[in-house]
Amino acid sequence: MLHEDVVCPFCACLCDDLKVETDNGTIVKVDNACDLGNHKFLRDDNHRLKEPIRRTPSGWTSATLQHAIDRTVEILLGADRPLLYGWSGTHGEAQSIGVHMAEVLGGVIDSTTSVCHGPSILAIQEVGHPGCTLGQVKNRADLVVYWGANPIEAHPRHMSRYTTYTDGFFLDRAFKERKVIVVDIRRTQTAEVADEFILIKKGGDYAVLSALRAIVRGKSDMIPATVAGVTKEQLLRIAEMCKKAKFGAFFFGMGITQTQGKYKNIRNAIELVDELNRHTKFTLTPMRGHYNVYGFNEVCTWMTGYPYAVDFCRGMAFYNPGETSAVDILTRKECDACLVVASDPAAHFPKDAVRHLGEIPTVQIDPYPNTTTAFCELQIPVAVTGIDAQGTSYRMDGVPIRVKSILNRGYPTDTDILGEIYRRIKEAKRV
Amino acid sequence: MSELLIRHACVVDPVNRISGEIMDLAVRDGRIVESVSDRAEVIDAQGFLTMAGGIDSHTHICGTKVNFGRYMSPEDMRAGRTLKKGQMHSTSGYSVPTTYGNSYRYATMGYTAVLEGAMAPLEARHTHEEFMATPLQDTMANVLFDGNWPVMEAVRDRDVKRVAAIVAWVLTAVKGFAIKITNPGGTEAWGWGKNVTCIRDPVPYFEVTPAEIIETLIRANEILRLPHSVHLHCNNLGTPGNYSCTIGSMDVAPDLNKERQSLYVTHVQFHSYGGTSWKDINSKAHVVADAVNRKPHIVIDMGQMMFGKTTTMTADGPMEFNLYKLHHNKWSNHDVELETGSGIIPVYYSRKSIVNSVMWAIGLELALLIKNPEQCLLATDNPNGSPFVKYPEIIALLMSNPYRQAEIATLPPETESRISLPAIDRELDWNEIAMMTRAGQGRALGLRKLGRGHLGLGAIADIAIYPLSIGAIDPSKEYTRVIEALRLTRYTIKNGKVIARDGEILSNRNKTTIWVRPKIPEQHRMDHDPDFIRNFERYYTVRMSNYPVQEAYVPESTCIETEAVW
């Protein structure tokens, strides 16, 4: 059976033009997807856990769904300070149940945001965010800047769907008319296709952004011969390209959010874009990773007022990343139970944080075994959102798209499992 | 069957010409009926002020830019926190509360229906998700058409039926309620960092003028027989001297509908400025009010500004950037492909500022100088002029000249020569307040016949009972008691069920989302139109099949089907 306009649940490009062929309950062919998307669809059934598993002194053993849910409820109800973490690889409806659950439990809820674009959000909370939907870039932009981002490898269709290689309404020969600037500390694949590549010394982003801001403000006299390894001549040329563009689009990735300077880098980038808007049109968009990491920020914000790292222990939402974010809660050994949903913290968190995960009862809800499995007491496999579960997802620019279910593999969805756990918790707490 | 009897209610219901009569109200299965059995649940209203549930016909409570207002402002979230309690979720936010915060605060003020003022069609799914998390008000969404490419192309081709067909497709696809135009043409120009100054400037590339967009959409609106009229946010918001643009925009509107206005002009306070710069800004409310008095086919809302901290948010992207350049605090912008834009900045309106003082006076002048209260509805463009929790203060100001004079005395003395408020002694009565807060909204939104905004037989039993014996107080003198009583209902009843009592929320969920589905001849439908489909697939970044909002997003839904006059 051929499914058209399928939405890819891999990265936050959320390409929605895939053609997927299924036959007898398996996916046999995928068109239009990138390598990453293809991999997710075509290799899906090789990797899935068949049923819940639990750890025993003699090793892993299978568990019934009933037991898995009972035990998860018991762990969460027995905890003083449970942490509910992850959420970026599932649909918004499940995320919403997660937030309600954290409120009833008086726990902490955080998403992978705190280890990817968390710093971007802190910067936005200081100075705002001049952005747009990706179609504005596609139809208008004659200049595209990728800073600390390598879309060719991390968001492979970004350039062909939204920026460099796509046709645009206001561009006659889009590919020739659009200029691309890439800024990075190494010559990435994306740098190879750039009209201008700025190679900066590691940790030099803040200084280079400041230099560009100064030039745009007409203060080029104060710029030294080189800034973080970039020549003044190149900086002047780049600033001129930006000012002369009719529509400039600035995209930034984790190469700038998680490097030295962190949120200060992003604040500087936003203020550069702000400055450029006094000369021409310029927008800025974070290259969000997981297909629905931004969705968690949206859901959590309309429910609690804050995009991530929310602590309900005082009966209301309290937000202070650095204190209430997952890595910090784990490293300080503050939480006494953890529910991991749709992410893989053990593969990304610092050693001390992961060690604590292994020391407390940790349950993971995820279709696939991953690094975190090794630190869990229990794992419950669920349907994969975008393959056998549907729901809302938010693209990196905030456009909400409903991802589809194209086959039934008999797994419960995140919403089913979390809904049942939440129901049981409410019952026990008499809410 | 559920029955409710409200005894000793002091009913103010201008639609049914009931003005402070002590009477009983009978409710069966969510509707007002003649009488109920003796098994009915009984509420004693103790002679307190009883009106239909409040309706906010222009507020920003759900959707992309509202949520971004929260996202970028943890300081605002901290400023309005409440604990989880009973059935109530915890809430955050002062000027942009969380969805539950909005819903609970509206409910305890007696509001039972709200119209989200601006929804970008591409992001409609988001608005509906937040509607689902706004549990105690019926919700509707204005759909933005100010910079819609296919609409502008059809306007250029003078093809009003094609405009109607596009509007019909979009409204149905996004489950929206009405046509909204925010700074028509200006949001498209802002895609290039430009703007239009008023209704005669051509939009870059599309070569249509805002005046043509406004007029054509008004005609298309009536072809589709939509319940509400076109809902306009004029060009040139917040600029000294903009009143002439506002009046010019009103002049464009033809009078096409006998039952309601043909054009709703929103937050007119922001559009009634005289002067040539911030230095000599003055009020032109009297000129605008005069124009409205002469045009019964226009309805406006006040867009009242109240002093204090708030967040401004609008689809009018260029305006927000200009405001940002004045305030220098923080600025967000979000342009939406082929459709519209938006911007957000936090502001502080100070009574030490002459400009802010003039703005404060203008909203009140409009309400006091427009003769028919159903032509000037009470709203603050929440949260732009102020958060909606200030409505009780605004009502008290409209009912009390001494209160106004006391407030004017706190403003910079230079303000007085720029405004006419000190000389206006009109004081509105409870009937007029009911017209400005529910009855007028029911009419303006085209929902009166569907039983909204009044308490006549068959009306939806959305009822607000405020702890105030109106016969026993003089609002002119005892305005603080008016404010106090309107802040918190004794009972808020929705569909015949008590949802709030003395500030406590008693219901998890009681709502519907109202949307429209205009029917047009099959052969004109956009889903069969090759040009429309080709351009959609070529220039949007989502596929046409993935664009419509699925049924899953309106689990509680009231669809109004209209038959176009083709």
Give the model confidence (pLDDT) of A284-308 as tens digits: 999 999 999 999 999 999 999 999 9
Distance of CA B129 to the CA centre of its chain: 19
User: Is the model's pLDDT at A278 over the cut of 80?
Assistant: yes
Asked if the structure places residue B525 within a domain, the reply is no
The reported pLDDT for the residue numbered B14 is 98
Interface mutation target, options A267, A302, A318, chain B, most CBs of B under 10 Å: A302
Asked if residue B450 belongs to a domain, the reply is no
Mean pLDDT for A119-126 is: 98
Contact in structure between B211 and B201 (CB atoms under 8 Å): no
User: What fold does the segment set A50-116+291-429 form as a domain?
Assistant: Rossmann fold (3.40.50)
Tens digit of pLDDT for each residue in B318-374?
Answer: 999 999 998 889 999 999 999 999 999 999 999 999 999 999 999 999 999 999 999
Mean pLDDT, chain A, as a whole number?
A: 97
**Number of folded domains that form chain B:** 1
| Residue B538 located in a structural domain | no
Give the span between the Cα atoms of B34 and B456, in whole angstroms.
Answer: 9
> Is residue A45 pLDDT above 90, yes or no?
no
Residue B283's DSSP bridge partners are: B273
pLDDT of the residue at B523: 96
Q: Is residue B501 part of a domain?
A: no
Write out chain A residues lying below 8 Å of B133, CB-based: 96, 302-303
Q: What is the pLDDT of residue B1?
A: 85
Q: For position B87, what pLDDT does the model report? A: 85
Domains of chain A, by residue range, sit at: 50-116+291-429, 118-286
Determine, yes or no, domain membership for B512.
Answer: no
**pLDDT attached to residue B119:** 98
CB of A336 within 8 Å of a chain B CB? The answer is: no
Asked if residue A99 lies in contact with residue A300, where contact means CB atoms within 8 angstroms, the answer is: yes
Q: CB–CB of B333 and A130 under 8 A?
A: yes
Q: Does residue B560 sit within a domain? A: no
Cis amide prior to B383 (ω within 30 degrees): yes
B71·A301 Cβ contact <8 A:
yes
* Maximum pairwise Cα distance, chain B: 69
pLDDT band at A47 (very low <50, low <70, confident <90, very high): confident
Q: Please tell me the predicted confidence (pLDDT) of residue A44.
A: 82
Query: How many of the other CB atoms lie within 10 Å of CB of A142?
Result: 19
pLDDT tens digits along A349-369: 999 999 999 999 999 999 999
Which of A170, A298, A314 is nearest residue B67 as measured by Cβ atoms? A298
Q: Does domain A118-286 have CATH number 3.50.50.60?
A: no
Residue A405 · residue A53 · CB < 8 Å: no
Q: How many angstroms away from the CA of B319 is the closest CA of chain A?
A: 13
Instruction: Return the closest-CA partner of residue B286 out of B223, B344, B362, B220.
Output: B362
Please determine, for residue A46, whether its predicted confidence score (pLDDT) is greater than 80: no
Please state, in angstroms and rounded to a whole number, the distance separating the CA atoms of residues B366 and B290: 9
- Does position A323 have pLDDT exceeding 90, yes or no? yes
pLDDT in tens, B437-460: 999 999 999 999 999 999 999 999
The residue assigned the tokens 């309404």 is: A169
Q: What's A104's DSSP letter?
A: H
CA–CA distance, A334 with B44 (Å, rounded to integer) = 52
Q: Does A274 touch chain B (CB under 8 A)?
A: yes
Asked whether residue B432 is domain-assigned, the answer is yes
Whether complex ipTM tops 0.85: yes
Q: Which residues contact B266 (CB under 8 A, 6 or more apart)?
A: B58, B117, B231, B232, B233, B300, B301, B303, B379, B381
Distance CA B41, CA B85 (A): 26
Q: How many CB pairs under 8 A join A and B?
A: 179
Output Rg (C-alpha) for chain B, integer angstroms.
22
With a cut of 80, say whether residue A190 has pLDDT above it: yes
Contact B68 A283 (CB under 8 A): no
CB atoms within 10 A of CB B405: 12
In a domain, B509, yes or no: no
A376-392 pLDDT, tens per residue? 999 999 999 999 999 99
Distance from CA of A324 to the nearest CA of B (A): 14
Low-confidence stretches of chain B (pLDDT beneath 70): none
Per-residue pLDDT, B461: 98
| Partners of residue A181 on adjacent β-strands | A145, A196
pLDDT value of position A284: 98
Nearest by CB to residue A305, choosing from B98, B335, B546, is: B98
For testing the chain B interface, which of A103, A301, A311 should be mutated: the one with the most B CBs within 10 Å?
A: A301
Name every chain A residue with its beta carbon within 8 A of the beta carbon of B72: 124-125, 128-129
Average pLDDT over residues A40-46: 87
What is the rounded average pLDDT of the residues A133-153?
Answer: 98
Task: For chain A, give percent helix, strand, coil, nearest 5.
Answer: 40, 25, 35
Range of the domain at B101: 54-444
Q: What would the pLDDT profile of A202-258 be if each residue is shown by its tens digit?
A: 999 999 999 999 999 999 999 999 999 999 999 999 999 999 999 999 999 999 999
How far is the CA of A100 from the CAs of A423, B103, B262, B555, in angstroms?
Answer: 11, 17, 44, 19
- Distance between A270 CA and the closest CA of chain B, angstroms: 10
